[in-house]
Structure 1
Amino acid sequence: MRAVLVLYFKYFFLWDDDLATSIYHTFVALCYLTPILGAIIADSWLGKFKTIIYLSIVYAIGQVIMAVSAIHDITDTDRDGTPNNMSVHVTLSMLGLFLIALGTGGIKPCVSAFGGDQFGEHQQRQRSTFFSIFYLCINGGSLLSTLITPILRAQECGIHSQQKCYPLAFGVPAALMVVSLVVFIAGSNMYVKAAPQGNIMLRVCKCIGFAIKNRFRHRSKKYPKREHWMDWATEKYDKLLIAQIKMVLRVLFLYIPLPLFWTLFDQKGSRWTLQATTMDGNFGQLTLQPDQMQTLNPILILTLVPIMDRIIYPLIKKCGLNFTPLRRMTVGMLLAALAFVAAALVQLEIDKTLPNFPSASQSQLKVINMGNTEIAVTIPPDAPITVGAVQASDDYLTFENQIITVSVGPATTTTLKLTKGMRHSLVIPSDPNSMNLVDDLTSKPQEGNNAIRFINGMTTMVNVTNFGSIGPSSVSDVFLVAQGKRTFNITNGVQRCEYSKDFGFGGAYTFLIPSTFTWAQDCANMIRAVEDIKPNSVHMALQIPQYFLITAGEVVFSVTGLEFSYSQAPSNMKAVLQAGWLLTVAFGNFIVLIVAEAVKIPKQWAEYVLFASLLVVVSVIFSIMAYFYTYINPAEIEAQFAEAEDLEPEDKETIAMDKRDSIQHTYENAKQTKM
């Protein structure tokens, strides 16, 4: 669903890029905030299995509401295509997205942890393979969705009239969510279902709160210092719980720099998709929609995960290099930074091809000569320009003043009032005294479509396919057509001719029917095409390097992070630490909101460079933090504490000495594998 979500905001609700991006990332952030709730429910009351079932039902209901929110009667719209009852559609969409965020967030910390529960401590290799397969399955679904959902969106459907089929794009995922839930429940008897451990989150919070309060209560020097600030909770809580909390806090501290990776990664569904709308998606026999470029991510993941797992990592190990999980994650962050450098370079190429639209204080004007003789036009303070018969001036003229004087030849002079921030065409017929000022587009046509219109220079009315009747010396309304070859039938009711043109992506054209138009001749060659906005010329293939780099970064960062979070978590806090990992994604999306709405960087390439630079700095900080992290085996530590709790006091002292020796030995070994 996320594949088309930002385009739904932009083209159905007609929100601008920044607002569409902000709402998109708000939704993604909510999806990764709610895992805390899911972890509490799973670990405290329902267990992972039931939590997945119940919140998947909420998830499916949200998808259904999203599909309903996209249904509207095209006849009940404003002139710009916006539904008159837009507030209802927005309300339903936000409700649907909230339920989806609640559902998907609730099951996120449970699904991977539930899978990990199926393996014993002696099956670490199998568990590691599972997490890779788990990630492959996720991205297999992502591959199908990013291929199919944009196709469903592009279908024509609607009530009374045809429109982009967002209800189908949202409805199919809703149906598949129901199917997947049925399949999951069908395997119930085959699963290992760990019982909930009680309200572990509440116990953890109370223990941490008591330790802090107790520490400040005994601030005086007469109280001896303790090895760790959590040790101030020993008066009330058992040492096993305190040891488990220490394990979790050590990992959560490492997570502090991680949100910035997700800040960059999740923009492939927003900024990068919007970037693709200004590019050429023609790949010969295949034409890609802007949102379909996201298919590169799952395709590359399905390729890179087994390559990394079976070839690259073993090869690095054979070379004698200790490529620890935290080292992998650092490399992943640097690869993501390089991806945004590549995106910035692509954006610079796109910017070179974009029209120079007027600022809020400027106006622009193009001259179109519909007469059959060349004319000289003077618009002070610019130098005179010559416009050939049935042609347009080469480019738009820019004016700071809105009142201008136009002279056509020596005899005709008129005063025109332009509109600030607008583009205009001055249509001059054979009789210059009948010149006409019309508005032009001030942005690229949406969704890679082409904006076209016809000007009838004849003295009789004509009919053009999709445009209806165009009166003498009149300009038609603007009509949008998709990429590809389009044929227009032009007729006066008696005679007829065909005009064909191949369209690219994102162009705007004015077709001139001259006053000398004769049906007996090859009329198609008599029609002149004026290019108001050049079509997209930067090819979508240039996005491939940035997708490759961000996906390679994801493979070594995210897959490793999932396994690291599980392996370093105490037995009763697996889902809690998974939720903490997912929380970094939420914070990463909030950073995008700050930049998109608060910072408002005018140049998109500069925003990409800013994100890349920040991630490089954060990568250095993370590598320093990782250097001082010591890998542990939570099961061994928990076993030692549990054993000590069951012994007599004198035996506990012996166990404690052995434990210190064991921990020291573990520490010395871990130093060899430090980041």
Structure 2
Amino acid sequence: MPGKDEFKRKSATVCGFPISIFFIVVNEFCERFSYYGMKAVLVLYFKYFLNWEDDFAITIYHTFVALCYLTPILGAIIADSWLGKFKTIIYLSIVYAVGQVVMAVSAIHDITDTNKDGVPDSMTFHVALSMVGLILIALGTGGIKPCVAAFGGDQFDEDQEKQRGTFFSIFYLSINAGSLLSTIITPILRAQKCGIHSKQQCYPLAFGVPAALMVVALIVFIVGSGMYTKVPPAGNILVKVCKCVGFAVSNRFKHRSSTFPKRAHWMDWAEEKYDKLLIAQVKMVLKVLFLYLPLPMFWTLFDQQGSRWTLQATTMNGDFGLMVIQPDQMQTVNPILILVLVPIMDSIVYPLISKCKLNFTPLRRMTVGMFFAAVAFVAAALVQLQIDNTLPKFSSSTESQAKFINMVDGTLHITAGPEKFTLDPFTATQDYLTFDEPFEMSVNASRPESITLPHGNRTTLVIAREGFQLGYRIFQDFNTKPDQGYNAIRFLNGFRSPLSVSVGTESIGNINTNDMSPYVKLSHGTISFTIENLLGNQCSFSRKLGFGSSFTYFIPSTFAMGENCDQHIREVEDIKPNSIHMAWQIPQYFLMTTGEVVFSVTGLEFSYSQAPSNMKSVLQAGWLLTVAVGNIIVLIVAEAAQLPDKWAEYILFASLLVLVCIIFAVMAMFYTYTDPAKIEAQFLNMEPEDKEKKNMEKDKKGMADESGKSSDFSSDEEKTKQSKL
């Protein structure tokens, strides 16, 4: 196999680093911006644009992520067998960019007919196009994953181990810089209103900008073409490895009952057919891959930042004073902390540990990283418990809930089933009352009336004067927390004539006497309302809204236009705003990010350093495969557990990771670090001597038959060819 020194380096160096890595780092920054920017809004796109349930949205999200980390195997085969890393990155980046464009097109809601809320009537087109786009993105991003990092490592000579280690840290910083900017920008783009016929959240823009960055990534990488060290493909190495392993197993099984001499390693049973150098390389790869077996559990927890933690943030308060944070923007905490923690770890923490003469090996670092991730999920569970304590208790499928509003200018004494209470003029019950069957209601000792409310729903029962008698009307309420932190607002008109209500420049419509307006969803902040009567007189007032609340504003019969008219308007809180602040997610993000820095950065460098020279992309693909398996575990565990409480799922995942962490720590104790270059050099140097000894033995035994000579010659010739590869 030709060494790297056989290929002329074209790139100049600066401070010992080849300039070519600049283009690789910039390419990775743009590509990661594209991927993480799209992924940041993906679960919300599934839930709020395609109208999928939480569980199904999470399932498709993790299926997509798993596919992104399964396809690196394909990329490694293509790179190491046919095209080489450079061409593989070029061609699959084109597929990647096309997929991003398809995703942007799939989110254009004006392509199909929409209903009055701006939601497409038929989602088939959007779902089909989205799936095509995600498959292309998975092929592209997954295919280039094992190639880019390894291609960057190829730019360094064997004696530049320190520079290569620094490159991997810079490489990882570029990943998280792209992730940071994209997870800040794309949620802002998503929150914009866009559309030709109707206005709603701008997912086409949120997907379109990442698509543009992917095109930029491709262009930058091509520009640096003339400076790269391009190691040509070494043949179908993955297939060769599989065949070598298969032959060793079958050969050992064939001689299981014979008196054949035992061998030091089970892979040595392949010596009859395969070169000793290849067998040594396969041993190194299998040794590392065996160590990878427990690693998927870390990614099982890590990748839930983009699904469960994002959905958790939708039930929290995102007002940070100077700015309002969107739920999907909380993911920016991860890359921000990485940009801070990576230099701190490299410059302060690791040197201090070294000075204390503690042997903090890469595998021990990875063990500590897994433990931090488990603690992060315990923190997430504690936050979820606090959120659950503040959520309203909605009715079950066998119950109904009702709130009563007194629209009469007089006190009402109400009996509703077993409940008895008094309502002052223009007031409402503070909480919803729960009924599990139809009930009798009487007002001021009047003749009882039978009331039947729909099960599994919340309603408002308005008591008002109809002519000279008291009557009631029933209105349907919000039965869930308003999604995405929006506030659900409606108006009840108790005035003696119809009124029109508008929010900003948007009209809610005319509201007849004793009637209720439809709900309007409003964002966080100070919102201005305008009420106008039939004569054109107006009353303007404003309210500051939080996140995830629902209010009914009712206008009593004593309402009058003019100065301080808003003082007559009554406010009924149907659903309390989110009270747990998003800042409480920062500790869990800090713990998870600390674990990631210690685990992932170390694992990336460990995979490269322990890989044979012709199998680096294969081992990188094996590392990335652990991420795919981790996302599959999310689906399996969540489906098998079927836990009703989210906090319980967090504790379950944390417990599983602690168990796996212990197993990995035991495995790491028995791992012996190797230098692939030295091992390969040893076998390359020893091969000719071995062959010479074999030839001398043949001479001593005399001439063998012609067929035997031919067979031995062919075998030696084949081994020589494999050694040169």
Say which SS state the counterpart of residue 435 (structure 1) adopts.
strand
Pairing 1:390–2:390 present: no
- Is the 2:488–2:519 contact (alpha carbons within 8 Å) kept by the matching residues of 1? yes
Pairing 1:505–2:547 present: yes
- Percent sequence identity over aligned pairs: 66
Pairing 1:470–2:518 present: no
Query: C-alpha offsets along residues 360-412 of structure 1, whole Å, 9 cap, x if unaligned?
Result: 222111111111112122122x33011221111111111222x2222212114
Question: 2:166 pairs with 115, 124, 129, which one?
Answer: 129
Moved more, 307-316 or 206-215: 206-215
Give the Cα separation in 2 of the matches to 1:209 and 1:388. Answer: 84
Moved more, 634-643 or 106-115: 634-643
**CA 1:461 to 1:653, structure 2 compared with 1: closer, same or farther past 3 Å?**
farther
Give the Cα separation in 1 of the matches to 2:347 and 2:481. Answer: 46
Pairing 1:218–2:255 present: yes
Quote how far apart the aligned CAs of 1:79 are.
5.9
Give the Cα separation in 2 of the matches to 1:235 and 1:60. Answer: 47
**CA 1:245 to 1:533, structure 2 compared with 1: closer, same or farther past 3 Å?**
same
Residue in 2 aligned with 1:70? Answer: 107
- Is the 1:595–1:601 contact (alpha carbons within 8 Å) kept by the matching residues of 2? no
Question: 1:276 pairs with 313, 338, 342, which one?
Answer: 313
Quote how far apart the aligned CAs of 1:597 are.
3.5
Residue in 2 aligned with 1:658? Answer: none
Which residues of structure 2 form unaligned runs of 5+? Answer: 1-37, 697-725
What is the letter of the counterpart of residue 104 of structure 2?
A
Moved more, 220-229 or 615-624: 220-229
Give the Cα separation in 2 of the matches to 1:459 and 1:398. Answer: 32
Question: 2:642 pairs with 600, 603, 610, which one?
Answer: 600
Give the Cα separation in 2 of the matches to 1:120 and 1:53. Answer: 24
- Is the 1:266–1:589 contact (alpha carbons within 8 Å) kept by the matching residues of 2? yes
Which residues of structure 1 form unaligned runs of 5+? Answer: 655-675
Quote how far apart the aligned CAs of 1:28 are.
0.4
Question: 1:230 pairs with 263, 267, 270, which one?
Answer: 267
- Is the 2:376–2:592 contact (alpha carbons within 8 Å) kept by the matching residues of 1? yes
1:311-460 equivalences under 5 Å are 311-380=348-417, 382-401=418-437, 403-431=438-466, 433-460=470-497
1:75-94 equivalences under 5 Å are 76-78=113-115, 82-94=119-131
Residue in 2 aligned with 1:579? Answer: 621
Give the root-mean-square deviation of aligned CA atoms: 1.6
Residue in 2 aligned with 1:522? Answer: 564
Query: C-alpha offsets along residues 348-369 of structure 1, whole Å, 9 cap, x if unaligned?
Result: 1111110001122221111111
Aligned length: 652
- Relative to the length of structure 2, the TM-score reads 0.88
What is the letter of the counterpart of residue 408 of structure 1?
V
1:112-123 equivalences under 5 Å are 112-123=149-160
Residue in 1 aligned with 2:216? Answer: 179
Give the Cα separation in 1 of the matches to 2:400 and 2:267. Answer: 66
- Is the 2:112–2:122 contact (alpha carbons within 8 Å) kept by the matching residues of 1? no
Query: C-alpha offsets along residues 57-98 of structure 1, whole Å, 9 cap, x if unaligned?
Result: 000000000000000129933466541220110000011000
Quote how far apart the aligned CAs of 1:328 are.
0.3
Residue in 2 aligned with 1:669? Answer: none
**CA 1:653 to 1:143, structure 2 compared with 1: closer, same or farther past 3 Å?**
farther
Question: 2:295 pairs with 221, 243, 258, which one?
Answer: 258
**CA 1:314 to 1:53, structure 2 compared with 1: closer, same or farther past 3 Å?**
same
**CA 1:460 to 1:79, structure 2 compared with 1: closer, same or farther past 3 Å?**
same
Residue in 2 aligned with 1:619? Answer: 661
Residue in 2 aligned with 1:300? Answer: 337
Give the Cα separation in 2 of the matches to 1:27 and 1:291. Answer: 18
**CA 1:652 to 1:575, structure 2 compared with 1: closer, same or farther past 3 Å?**
farther
Give the Cα separation in 2 of the matches to 1:75 and 1:642. Answer: 65
Residue in 1 aligned with 2:15? Answer: none
Residue in 2 aligned with 1:310? Answer: 347
Give the Cα separation in 2 of the matches to 1:457 and 1:413. Answer: 24
Question: 2:182 pairs with 145, 167, 178, which one?
Answer: 145
Residue in 1 aligned with 2:230? Answer: 193
Say which SS state the counterpart of residue 40 (structure 1) adopts.
helix
Give the Cα separation in 2 of the matches to 1:199 and 1:75. Answer: 47
- Is the 2:109–2:119 contact (alpha carbons within 8 Å) kept by the matching residues of 1? no
Residue in 2 aligned with 1:99? Answer: 136
Query: C-alpha offsets along residues 469-513 of structure 1, whole Å, 9 cap, x if unaligned?
Result: 001110110100000000111001321111210000000000010
Quote how far apart the aligned CAs of 1:596 are.
3.3
- Tell which structure's C-alpha radius of gyration is larger: 2
What is the letter of the counterpart of residue 237 of structure 1?
Y
Query: C-alpha offsets along residues 100-142 of structure 1, whole Å, 9 cap, x if unaligned?
Result: 0000000000010001111111111111100000000010001
Residue in 2 aligned with 1:633? Answer: 675
Runs of 4+ in 1 over 6 A off after TM superposition: none
Residue in 2 aligned with 1:670? Answer: none
Query: C-alpha offsets along residues 428-481 of structure 1, whole Å, 9 cap, x if unaligned?
Result: 113464311111111111110100000001221000003110011101101000
Residue in 1 aligned with 2:71? Answer: 34
Quote how far apart the aligned CAs of 1:225 are.
2.4
Give the Cα separation in 2 of the matches to 1:622 and 1:523. Answer: 69
- Is the 1:412–1:433 contact (alpha carbons within 8 Å) kept by the matching residues of 2? no
Say which SS state the counterpart of residue 434 (structure 1) adopts.
strand
- Is the 2:372–2:591 contact (alpha carbons within 8 Å) kept by the matching residues of 1? yes
Give the Cα separation in 1 of the matches to 2:380 and 2:429. Answer: 35
Quote how far apart the aligned CAs of 1:548 are.
0.6
Say which SS state the counterpart of residue 207 (structure 1) adopts.
helix
- Is the 1:21–1:596 contact (alpha carbons within 8 Å) kept by the matching residues of 2? no
Moved more, 284-293 or 595-604: 595-604
Say which SS state the counterpart of residue 646 (structure 1) adopts.
helix
What is the letter of the counterpart of residue 470 of structure 1?
I
**CA 1:648 to 1:490, structure 2 compared with 1: closer, same or farther past 3 Å?**
closer
- Is the 1:458–1:514 contact (alpha carbons within 8 Å) kept by the matching residues of 2? yes
Say which SS state the counterpart of residue 530 (structure 2) adopts.
strand
